[in-house]
Structure 1
Amino acid sequence: MADKAKPKTLREVFAIYNSFPRGRRIVGYASTAGWLIFAIALGFAVYFGTGFITYLVLAFLSFLSTTHSNYAFTQNLTQRKVRRIDYWYLGTAAIGLLLFAAAYSNQREIVLTKIFVAAHQSGEEPIREQVVSSLKDLSTFLCGDVMVRASATPCEGLKRFSEEIKPHLSAEQIKGLREKFSNAVTMPYSRMFPIEKLKANPSLFSPLSVIQVRLDDWAAYMRSAPAQTAAPRDEEAEIVYGLGQLVIWPFLLAYALALRITKVTIDVFEWAK
């Protein structure tokens, strides 16, 4: 059995380090010192609770120092080894991206729902405007001098009813408006005529029937409105997603960025053979 390689002494390690070109040695020593400084600073930041952004910045600088120190003092650094860095930082970035996407799935559903709701509401406006336009035409008829002299009650009821027309009402609310219209306008209007005349001339209700048709169209459109609440998520799953969103994926991406910058340093200063 072959003898196990003896661990190198500290003097031998420094001898290897000193065999590298001067610029590479400086980067290696500075990065090693930087790693110690930033690691200690990160510990103090956590202890004093300076905030997540501070943790992330110090962690990134620590990652950057670690990767620079590692590759600056790597013996026989070949282009093949350097190209392997791509797998590390791309893999790390991919994992971070997946965690990011998973963590924001609920927020994404909320945003998409808001987009669909906004699109639906924009389509509601012309339908609601038809209701308003028909009410104006009916107001001209019921609030004219001839009708008011006969009875001002339908006109007054129509004015009160018109104030109830508001944007983005639900189908149930519009259904309630239909009942209010019947009580406030249709019933007082029908009392203006004898029953025999109403039976003989049903077209007397035509101006009012237009409003009811418009309200039905409006209610039918609003029944197709998308739900404005996102699907509930299990509390434990929410904690896991929150952990990935707030803690894990930013540090993974910081590590991936540190690896990428290190690879650029290696290429620029031609450390690899």
Structure 2
Amino acid sequence: MGYLTTSKKKITANTFLELKAAGEKIAMMTAYDYTTATIIDQAGIDSLLIGDSASNVMCGNDDTLPITVDEMIYHAKAVARATRHALVVCDMPFGSYQVSRDEGVRNAIRIVKESGVDAVKLEGGRDIVDTVCGIISAGIPVVGHLGLTPQSVHVFGGYGLRAKDEAEAERLMADAKALDEAGVFALVLEKVPAALAARVSHEVKAATIGIGAGNGTDGQVLVYADALGFSHDFKPKFLRRFADAQQCITDGVTQYVSCVKDSTFPNADESY
């Protein structure tokens, strides 16, 4: 536990930079609803991300592409209401910023205005720098996202490791520096070689948040349903399960069904 992690003050974009400067790792996790966000925030997380992974986790879609701005705002509003300590970041979903700078800025303003989140996250590098600058100019902190960018899954042809060869690694480095110069305060690096992620972390001012990118980044992010064991089906190399919620919930539901069936619930003390 670090000097800022134990503070009850609200974490801000500037706090991320302070944490990086102090050498204190940043812990980020996704959340999509009020109840889960309340628990995770009270447990001491530094940042909550309303990821467009809500498309998979909450809606059962095969990828992140179908989720809309309206749906992201719905989830983000619930998480923001629950959060007292963590920095709350909302993904801008596919189609909300790719068409033009103006549309990206407009959607970012809408997301922050209607949900109450602290920052937005966009996938992409030099191709979105103009939009990133516009959003920051509007007064909204921005998190970048490089490496495996799930909104581009059809371009990549899957969810494999990115930047394995030197040419792609140099492109990623150039993208990271461009986003850093544009003013992002944090940069998610997903599924890239650990050595490359460490290099990026060393060469940019922004705090880097890894997922499948080794331990040389300034922090880590995981989807809460994966990290807490709500499902046992997803088994990437980078995932560690810190709880077994699936088994815990299964056991609880099984006991509930049994007690209802044998009429031991509710008992006299639980009745009016």
* Larger Rg computed on CA atoms: 1
Shorter-chain TM-score tier: under 0.3
TM-score norm. by structure 1 comes to 0.22
Higher helix share: 1
